[in-house]
Chain A
Amino acid sequence: LAKTTQPISMDSYEGQEVNITCSHNNIATNDYITWYQQFPSQGPRFIIQGYKTKVTNEVASLFIPADRKSSTLSLPRVSLSDTAVYYCLVGDGETSGSRLTFGEGTQLTVNP
C-alpha cells in the first residue's frame, strides 16, 4: 500500500515561495502524484498532478525526481489566502479505491 508522508505543518510569509515535500517510498510504476488543497469547512480542490520530472500550471509547480520516491509542491509568492491544508495523493487506476487515502496533509499558514 502506497503510503505518503508529509510535514504536519509549515509557516511562511506573504510573498515567499513555499515548497512542500511528500515522501512516497513505495510508489508503484503506474502511480501518479496528485496534490489537493483544502480550506476549513470545504471540500478539497485539485491543484496539480504529475508522473515524473516537472509539471507547472497557473497555480503551482510539481517537481518529481527520477526515483519518484518523493515529490515537491511549489507555491510561488504565497498570499494569506493560501493558508490551507495541502494533501499529497498517490495511486494508480488499477488499484482499489482504498489506496485513495489522503493522509494527514500539511497545514500551511501564511503570515502577513
Chain B
Amino acid sequence: NAGVMQNPRHLVRRRGQEARLRCSPMKGHSHVYWYRQLPEEGLKFMVYLQKENIIDESGMPKERFSAEFPKEGPSILRIQQVVRGDSAAYFCASSPGLKKISTDTQYFGPGTRLTVL
C-alpha cells in the first residue's frame, strides 16, 4: 500500500508565476490536509478537504491560494502570482476520515519544497 505521494518534490518558480502542488492520498483515504512549513518553524495548517468538498480552509491565505480535491485525481494546492515569502515546504497528509478532524491519524507525504526566485 503506497503512502501519500506528493509531486513535484522540488519546485522553482519566479515571482509572479503560478505553482501547482499535487497530493495523492493513501489508498482508501478520503480526507486530505495541506500544511506549510517555513524554515526552522513548525507546520501551519492551511486547509482540510474531502473529495469535492472543502471542509475547513481557516488556515488558507485569503488571496492567491486555493485548493481542491476532485472526485478523480490528486488534490491540488494552487498558488497564483507567487512571491518570495511563499518559499516553504508544503506538506500534504491524508486520513481515513473515520474520526474527528484532529484525532484522526494523519499520514504525511514527503513534501514539496517551493523556491521562489
Contact = CB atoms under 8 A, between A and B. Distances in A.
Interface stretch (B12-20, B37-45, B73-81): B37-45
B91 A44 contact: yes
Interface of A: 32, 34, 41-46, 49, 87, 89-105
B111 A92 contact: no
Given A41-B111, A96-B58, A101-B42, A34 B91 contact: no
Contacts of B108: 42-45
A3 to B, nearest CB: 12
Interface in B50-88: 55-59
B109 interface: yes
Interface residues of B, number: 30
Given A97-B33, A104-B41, A43 B93 contact: yes
Interface of B: 4, 33, 35, 41-45, 47-48, 55-59, 91-93, 99-103, 105-111
B110 A100 contact: no
Given A93-B100, A98-B59, A100-B101, A46 B43 contact: no
6 A-B pairs with least C-beta separation: A93-B100, A43-B108, A91-B102, A97-B56, A100-B45, A102-B42
B43 A102 contact: yes
8 contacts: A43-B110, A44-B91, A92-B103, A93-B102, A100-B33, A100-B35, A102-B35, A103-B42
Nearest to A46: B105
B34 to A, nearest CB: 10
B10 to A, nearest CB: 10
A105 B43 CA distance: 9
